Structure 1
Amino acid sequence: MSTTLTDIARDGLAMAYKRAVTPKAWNHDEEAESSQTQLPQASERHQYCTLEDGTALPLSIEPSDPAEPSEGGFTPGEGETAWSSFLAGVDTEFEHSLDYDTCFGVVIVDVSLPTTDHQDITGVPVTIRPNGGVLSLYFEESGQFAAIIDSRALRKVLSHYAPRLVATLSLKQSHNSKPGKKSKRPGTSDPKWRVENATVRITVYGNMRHKDDIADLFSGEGLFFQQPTVEEYDSSVPYFNPHLLLRPGAEMPKIEDLSISDPRSAASRPALLDEVNQGKIWRIFDLANGDGASVSVAASGRLKSPLRHHQLQALNMMTERERGIIEDAKFPSLWQATSSPHNPKYRHIITGSCEKKPRFIRGGVLADEMGLGKTLTTLALICWYLDVRDAVRCADDRPGESSTTLIVVPKSIIIGWESQIVRHINSDTIAAITYHGPSRRRLVPDFSRHDIVLTTYETLREDYLAPRKSGAQTLYSHHWHRVVLDEAHRIRTRGSELHRAALAISKLAHCHWCLTGTPIHNSLDDYGALLAFIQAPKISEKRDFVRLIVKPMEDENRRGLSRLQDLVNATCLRRTISSLGTAALQLAPLDEKIEWLDLGRDNELYTFFKRKAASVASGFGKQRAGNTGKDKGGENILSLLNFLRQICDYGERMLPVKALESWREGGMNEDGAISTCPDSDQTGENQGITAGSSRSAKAEAVIRNILGQQSATGASLPQKSVVFSCWTRMLDLIQNDLESVGLGVQRIDGSASLPQRRVAIEQFMLDPRCVVMLASIGSAGEGIDLISACHVHILEPQWNPMAESQAIGRVYRMGQKQRVSVTRYIVNGTIETYVQWIKKDKLRLISQSLGSRTISQEEVDQKRWKELNKILF
């Protein structure tokens, strides 16, 4: 790298920092004593990067005095300052990297390279930092300057939305390139630049509520999100590509299932399951319920809360697995004892191989449906082991061996685990800490003095990468008695950094458990990835899992189905509310109803967009019949159907400006497309929301029902409601309407930080004046306990029935003392009736999946297409 470029990078960053902050007093930080640039003294402590000449620049903010310190010494979300937005631009991989909840995909940008240091570069990790009017790339490993990005859209996304960016730089191999051709760097007189045939792949993570704004900014510059490869994707967060349109009823595909992927891993990409096969597999899991197994292990005296019978049953299964019991086992095992008394052997039930001393599975998958108390069951297992350790010091508890359990959870539910430990375990009988945040490393020496260490998937991944960079003390510096993954489906992508991190930590543990209500999503190998974590012998390697399970299933071999059933029974336990019965769970029956509504004044608007959707669907149907190639009309169907769904919610106030202009002008592109402008991301009344007589039919119905519930006679507790919607815009409008009639409201959606979630949930639980919780369907999937409510309002039907079940499960779950009602709001004779039909059809497929009649996916698709035509024509 030339001296000139070093000076440009150093001076641009240093001057930008000085312009961003103008403190009255300056002082040196202890960590930057040798720095030539003085830095501000404030209530925060800073970490610095050092340029080649010793100039120190801030990389992160660490609060020195958190307002609400946890036992682990970290309060998430604290330490924000007036100039933290600038710091987000200095290094995109520090504080804001903990605040994203969605992966949007990859944008590919051309870059300018310096004339020097020309070398063969392919997929080299780089970091992105602002440098005057452009963005500079620096090699992650060496910190050396690499290239420049001149992208106005990327600069605006960075400054307005503070995303996390993960980038790699590559030189394209082109026979037509002219490596000696030079051109001036834009905006400078330095001739030592040339435009290379080079690109940077940038994986963009951010908040779901910003998806449309970010997508519009990029598309306005001709940049569109591409699917990341498995290697590029952090599977601890959902993937949602705002530039990808899907067919009606379809869901966003998983990264590992997409056609665009790294060629090096394409051959090993897991096969997609269609809905018919998904139904068969779900039925197999539902049958792995341990029915008939007796209970012999009692709950520990350390527990405050009693265990239900199904929890005691799970506890017995877990203790049996951890003790490695095969003979006289009450639950199925991967190993079966042979009948020869003189030559005892154990046969593997999947491979058929025999061994005298087999390797046991010291763990498994607890896949109970949400709301059945998997957390309490896991805490009961930990308490049982501590009792055994203290009483007999069994052979497995050798001197010096750890007895600590590491529990890895999504960031959004770490608060829930902390509260569950306090609620269910007697004080002073267990020691627990939370390992999370910038100060966490100081806690590593204390691990062995605690029974439970709570951490997040993000922290697990960061600690997994850290030893290669700094050799710091991390989670991987300790041996664990047990590792538990909550919402374990997050590691389902083999080859991802998160899956590799989970496998690495499992090798440092004696026992391994996965907790998840969804052990499979779109691929059988989702479960194979969990088996790899629990170290299931002879079946955890992907090649073995594919050969023994996946391939026979793909060939529709009945032996494959039988093997899968044996494997699931031996490694998993799953119960559902319906299989256990409400009486066993001490739950009152669920009251469910549909409130049918009419469009009213929004009928004209709906009719306009329905005609456009019908026109596009007609053309798409003809091309489907002709089996032609990709067509743009098919891509626009979902966009138009979403417009129809939004109109059913709140009319024109839900639609983007361009859609409204199209309606008022009476026109639209022939293929149904509505052009968008990068700076025109507002909806019809986004400049300000006002309450009044212009409420939609749904808003009026929700307000009427909630007010009626408040005035219900004989209610001994506050009648609290949770209102779910899949549109944050709808939550905005409903919130304004509810507050305008004097109702106390709290809210949780994808943009809520950990402290915000804590405040919202605590106020909703404890304040009798707060009677409504607004929540997005997406935010309800993990870690929210809302049993203080007894009414659920679902504002629109969902394509996926599990999305609604998970939302209801936040209220209708173990511990609920009140009778729960669920009201679904559906506009009659509209697209919502079709979505409701789709949901029921998916449930039908599951229930009929193991029946005698074979159902093909083609038959399912044809039936749905005909049903959609009934709605549109």
Structure 2
Amino acid sequence: MQGITNMIERFSHVQDRSSAHSAKRRKVEEEPEDDKSKNGAFHGGSSGMLSGYLKQKQSDTQSTSLATTPTQSTLDLTGGMCDDDDLEEIKDPREQEVCYGMVAGAMVHCHIVPSPKPGARTLTPGSWPQVKVVLRRIEGDKTRTINVYDHTRTIVGKLNPKIAAGLAPLFDARLLGIRTDAFIGTRRRLPDEEAGQHISRSYPLQLMLYGKFKYAKTVAKHFSRAEVNINLLSPTRVDKGVRVFNPLAKELRPMSAPRAYDQPQAAPVARTEEEVRSEILNVFDSLADTDKLPESEPDDRITTPLLPHQKQALHFMKGREDPAETAMDPLWKKTSAFRGQVTYYNIIASKHYHEPPTKPLGGILADMMGLGKTLSILSLVASTVPDAYDWARTEPALPETTEQPQPQNPFAPPKPGGLGLTTVKRNSKGTLLVCPLSTITNWEEQIKQHIRPGGLTYHIYHGPHRIKDLNQLATYDLVITTYGSVSSELSARSANKRGPHPLEEIGWFRIVLDEAHMIREQSTLQFKAIYRLNASRRWAVTGTPVQNKLEDLASLLAFLRVKPFHDRSMFNQYIVTPFKMCDTGIIPKLRLLVDTITLRRMKDKIDLPKRHDQIVKLQFSAEERRMYEAFQKDAQLRVSVITGQRERMVGGKTYIHILQAILRLRLFCSGGKDLMSEDDLHLLEGSSSEAPIDIDSDEDDEKPALTESKAYDMFNLMQDANGDNCIICSQKLGPKEGSEIESERQEEVMGYMTPCYHLLCPSCIGNFQGLCPCGAPVLSTVALRLTKADQEHEAHSEGNNGKVAGKMPREYSGPNTKVKYLIQELHSWKAKSIANPHEPPYKSVVFSQWTTNLDLIQKALDVEGISYVRLDGKMTRIGRTRAMDSFREDPNVQIILVSITAGGLGLNLTAGNSVYIMEPLFNPAAEAQAIDRVHRLGQKREVHCVRMLMDDSFEEKMRELQEKKMKLASLSMDRDKGDAGGYLTKAEAAKQRLMDLRSLFEKGSKL
């Protein structure tokens, strides 16, 4: 050890390299490529600590060495693992080679496309396979440059300067015996990109660092210097037989490698985002058999008998909350692997810890929608009242600073900037239930329906009448609040606003997140505010624990404090990266993790009444057919003009006109003449095939600036076509459930629209230089706000074709074909109710995408004398509650008109038994969700679902799109993705849009 540190600090050339001795190693120059796969299968280490659960599910794989090649002027870096008989025996443990870990932040700045080895391939179209690279220093180089070579021994790039500056002294200090194992992971292959061509691009590098055990502290001291500051992560792969010793990890000791690999003939394949989401949902849907779970009876405060699966849920949740449970958490194993010292081994991360793990009290209740999760949670609250009282009498603990990840970790759950942890003033017996605003009404209804009067005290912590006195608030058994309320308190504290902020100052007995996927984005204020709350027990309730990506689960684990995966960097390293690289061993590990903390059941676990689905095709009347064909002709003419002008395909206005034409067809099919604006009807005057079509007409050039009203109309068109994406980064601008809001009164800015109808997200607007990516100059933009967008979408058809001057005809001409059919059906149900006076009346739910269409249906119902209530996005919470109560309890109210966009989360419409979908949607999931609001737990009758389509119309084409799971995003200004999963160039995207337009309006298509 003597002199090594000084040697590093002098940067090299201190010791004569010829005098440096090291263990015998095989040189790369002497090793044939085909010999690198001779090593045997990997061994799990620590006598099979994955336990029987994993032993049956892990596949043996071969191990490999991906090492650097030695040169005369650098340390002898090996090219591969050798068989035991090729190595000298090293008896001194201090001389043994260990893996120090994976270098964090390593990148390759490539000037040439790296070449994969011959035969390497990936199953993902349009992707490069994994590329093994070698790191070398040039002899005599006075800089700290480290070159990167591919298998052709060509310099393809350089290691990024920060990491190179830290590693160069180690490479030059040959006595240390440093070697590396580096590779560039699977990545997207750009169109026409070939190996060896010149580029300028950076790629992440997985760089494993090896060296002698006795020099580990020297390496750690070097990396810890302020001017170096390099961190070591746990390696993603390790050579067989080599132990891991991270000298920078305080809690670790030498351990067996998590896994050893041999370089396979086919490199690991990177999963696409959709494949990852599908696979992880399969993990949730295939959890351990829950039929064998014991059942627990609810407390007598619950008046509603629980179904068997709800009793099982109660047993599961009570077990997860039992701190006295003596059995070791399945994620951990107690062992004495090191010199008889007791350690705790995490099975998934393959790490040893000295401190016993703290069991997280709580978990994830992930039953599918309609299985009665609300009643299950209320049963849990009622069953633990005595424990809650005991908790309230204990002294509040200080916030666990160890729970907050280190600030230098870029993936960790974030802290609000500069705001310290709140001191907990007292513990409360209460359960804090955080839910979306739209579900508060449902929670109130469920409490009244299922809990004995006076059985539990509750308070709605929302709005101006909320109780802000900490001591008074702590007396309730249940406090119901919204994500916005929690966020607003943190925002107020961050702004140093005076006033009580009791949610953070109370140590809650339990926190329950309803629709918990709303915190999936860890960068939002919403997540930060929820993460800071203090509680003894935590539950995440969501039917969709993974919305878009595997990282969504990381947010839930952070909230639940499931160590060590509450740290996002650990989750990414041990879950996300192996999963995306198709590591076969990660699925059983992930299933073990999910199984331990999650309960999920499918709808087949309950015996719901049968559902009857019917598609009814209706015929236009003669007058309706004449008008429809006129609108159809206008749409086809516009498309023919556009498809003949390819150079115009990247313009925003061009696609707006196409979307407007499609919208006219949809609106006419749904509501007839009365749903069209006066401007729409003007199109019918004198229209002929010879009339010229100017796609830049419609007053676009008459208005120098984009008005706010028109901007929202255009935005709603884009939402309908799934094209509400930022033109720069392609992120969706639509309402985000996890969006960051600073107060309940603030309207969140979702994005900005340019006069050429392109969208910019809040992140990209800051770098906007006044020139749209399409080339058009932009003098001003219109900010699109969340609340107003929702309201505008509800009233979309009032200005349905984007005309500010467009107004609905004042005279009502009577019901169209669809409404006539609907009234006929409603009379039939009413007659059935009269014929069965001793049964509850038959009730119907009518869904439409547009509130103006509901207005027309409402007029028809008034004429017929049919009683009804209505639910749309412009109603207050109190108004929504009254409408729901009337539909459920008033026998004279047998109809409820519902806007699909206003239904919200948690809506319960089981009082109805028939569903009418007035028009097809581009998003079939929205239709399915609407139907599930009726066909769910609590439904006593068979459900009849009718979807109405106009025969020989554009609605039939939409139905085909639904069945094929196609999207209309190709009509938007969003950058398109090709079959290979990579983004197309603008020219390729324009060509693809042209093809999509033609396919929608091709000969024989029904418009």
User: Shorter-chain-normalised TM-score: which range?
Assistant: 0.5 to 0.7
What is the rounded CA distance, in whole Å, between the counterparts of 2:275 and 2:490 in structure 1?
Answer: 38
Name the CA distance, whole Å, in 2 between partners of 1:290 and 1:510: 29
| 2: CA distance, partners of 1:293 / 1:549 | 29
Partner residue, 2:91? none
**1:792 aligns to what SS in structure 2?**
strand
Q: CA contact under 8 A between 1:493 and 1:526: conserved in structure 2? A: yes
**Contact kept? 1:657, 1:682, Cα under 8 Å:** no
Match of 2:629 in 1: 607
* Deviation of 1:273 (Å): 7.2
* Unaligned residue ranges in structure 2 (runs of 5+): 1-269, 398-424, 711-797, 968-978, 984-991
State the distance in 2 between where 1:314 and 1:368 align: 9
**2:434 alignment counterpart:** 408
Which whole-Å CA distance do the structure 2 matches of 1:633 and 1:349 have between them?
56
Q: Is the 8 A contact 2:519 2:555 kept in 1?
A: yes
Match of 2:361 in 1: 362
SS in 2 for 1:450: coil
CA RMSD in angstroms comes to 4.0
| Aligned-residue offset at 1:813 | 1.8
Look up the SS of the partner of 2:511 in the other structure: strand
The equivalences for 1:832-851 within 5 A come to: 832-842=955-965
AA partner of residue 708 (structure 1): S
Alignment partners' CA distance in 1, 2:453 and 2:666: 50
Residues 276, 549 of structure 2: 8 Å contact kept: no
Letter of the structure 2 residue corresponding to residue 410 of structure 1: P
Check whether the contact 1:765–1:788 (CA below 8 A) recurs between aligned residues. yes
2:297 maps to: 298
Q: Which has the larger radius of gyration?
A: 2
Residue of structure 2 in register with 1:236 after alignment: none
Letter of the structure 2 residue corresponding to residue 597 of structure 1: L
Q: Distance in 1 between matches of 2:535 and 2:668?
A: 53
After superposition, what is the alpha-carbon deviation per residue over 1:623-666, rounded to whole angstroms, capped at 9, x for unaligned? 99x99856654455444333222121012332344333334353
Quick one: structure 1 residues 669 and 573, their matched pair in 2 at CA, closer, same or farther if it must change by over 3 Å?
farther
Distance 1:835 1:522 in 2: 24
Aligned to 2:509: 481
The answer on whether the counterparts of 1:300 and 1:384 sit within 8 Å (CA) in structure 2 is yes
Q: Distance in 1 between matches of 2:295 and 2:827?
A: 50
Q: Is the 8 A contact 2:677 2:807 kept in 1?
A: no
Sort the Cα spacing of 1:527 and 1:697 in 2 relative to 1 into closer, same or farther, 3 A: farther
The answer (yes or no) to whether the contact 2:846–2:916 under 8 Å persists in 1 is yes
Deviation sequence 1:330-377 (CA, Å, 0-9, x none): xx9544566989876554343222335113332222222222111111
Alignment-derived partner of residue 499 in structure 2: 472
Match of 1:532 in 2: 558
Paired residues for 1:315-330 under 5 Å: 315-323=314-322
> In 2, Cα distance between the equivalents of 1:673 and 1:871?
26
> 2:939 maps to what in 1?
816
Unaligned runs of 5+ in 1: 1-270, 845-854
The aligned counterpart of 1:450 is 476
Q: How does 1:541-690 map to 2 (within 5 A)?
A: 541-559=567-585, 564-577=590-603, 579-580=604-605, 584-585=606-607, 587-600=608-621, 601-614=623-636, 632-634=653-655, 636-664=657-685, 666=687, 670-671=694-695, 674-675=698-699, 682=799, 686=807
- Residue type matched to 1:408 in 2? V
Secondary structure at the counterpart of residue 482 of structure 1:
strand
Deviation of the 1:826 alpha carbon = 1.5
Q: CA deviation at 1:444?
A: 2.6
Deviation, 1:526, is: 3.0
SS of corresponding position for 1:702: helix
Alignment match of 1:800 (pick from 910, 923, 927):
923
Q: Deviations over 1:3-34 (max 9, x none)?
A: xxxxxxxxxxxxxxxxxxxxxxxxxxxxxxxx
Cα–Cα, structure 1 residues 833 and 327, in superposed 2: closer, same or farther, change >3 Å?
farther
Counterparts of 1:97-246 in structure 2 under 5 Å? none
The alpha-carbon distance between structure 1 residues 318 and 707, as it changes in their structure 2 partners (threshold 3 A), is same
State the alpha-carbon separation in 1 of the partners of residues 645 and 314 from structure 2. 56
Per the alignment, residue 711 of structure 1 pairs with 831
Could you tell me which of 492, 513, 531 is aligned with 1:503? 531
Partner SS state of residue 510, structure 1? strand
Q: Which SS does the other structure have where 2:357 is aligned?
A: coil
**1:421 & 1:590 partners in 2: Cα distance?**
28
Deviation at 1:324, TM superposition (A): 5.3
Could you tell me how far apart the structure 2 residues matched to 1:637 and 1:289 are?
50
Deviation per CA, 1:376-414, whole angstroms, max 9, x where unpaired? 111111122224557999999999743211011222221
Q: Which amino acid aligns with 2:945?
A: V
Residue equivalent to 2:380: 381
After TM superposition, the structure 1 = structure 2 runs for residues 336-355 of structure 1, keeping only pairs within 5 Å, are 346-355=344-353
**CA contact 1:764–1:770 (8 Å) conserved in 2:** yes
CA distance in 2: counterparts of 1:628 and 1:347, whole angstroms: 59
Distance 1:710 1:310 in 2: 35
Question: What is the one-letter code of the residue matched to 2:317?
Answer: M
Whole-Å separation in 2 of the counterparts to 1:655 and 1:696 = 12
Distance 1:687 1:602, change over 3 A: closer
Residues 1:343 and 1:612: Cα distance change in structure 2 (over 3 Å): farther
Q: How many residues align?
A: 581
* C-alpha displacement of 1:515: 1.6
Mapping for residues 47-126 of structure 1, pairs under 5 Å: none
Change (3 A) 1:690 1:275: farther
Q: Deviations over 1:490-537 (max 9, x none)?
A: 2222222212111122xx112221222233333333333232222222
Partner of 2:871: 748
Query: Are 1:405 and 1:480, in contact at CA under 8 Å, matched by a contact in 2?
Result: yes
Task: Give the whole-Å Cα distance in 2 for the aligned partners of 1:366 and 1:628.
Answer: 48
2:542 is the counterpart of 1:516: yes
Render the CA deviation track for 1:659-687: whole Å, top value 9, x for unaligned.
33334353685548755785896569955
Q: How far has the Cα of 1:451 moved from its partner?
A: 1.2
TM-score under structure 1 length normalisation: 0.60
CA contact (8 A) 1:370 1:806 kept: no
**Residue in 2 that maps onto 1:262:** none
Amino acid at match of 1:788: A
- Offset, 1:857: 6.2
The SS at the match of 1:595 is strand
Measure, in 2, the Cα distance between the counterparts of 1:498 and 1:707: 47
Post-superposition Cα deviations, 1:153-197, rounded to whole Å, max 9, x if no partner, equal xxxxxxxxxxxxxxxxxxxxxxxxxxxxxxxxxxxxxxxxxxxxx
**1:548 Cα shift?**
3.4
Q: Provide the rounded CA distance (Å) in 1 between the counterparts of 2:356 and 2:896.
A: 55
Determine if contact 1:659/1:674 at 8 Å carries over to the other structure.
Answer: no
2:526 partner letter: L
Q: Deviations over 1:801-848 (max 9, x none)?
A: 33122212222221222222111112233332233233333499xxxx
Whether the aligned pair in 2 keeps the contact of 1:744 and 1:769 (CA below 8 Å) is yes
Q: Secondary structure at the match of 1:591?
A: strand
Q: TM-score, normalised by structure 2?
A: 0.52
2:900 aligned residue (753, 777, 785): 777
Change (3 A) 1:805 1:687: closer
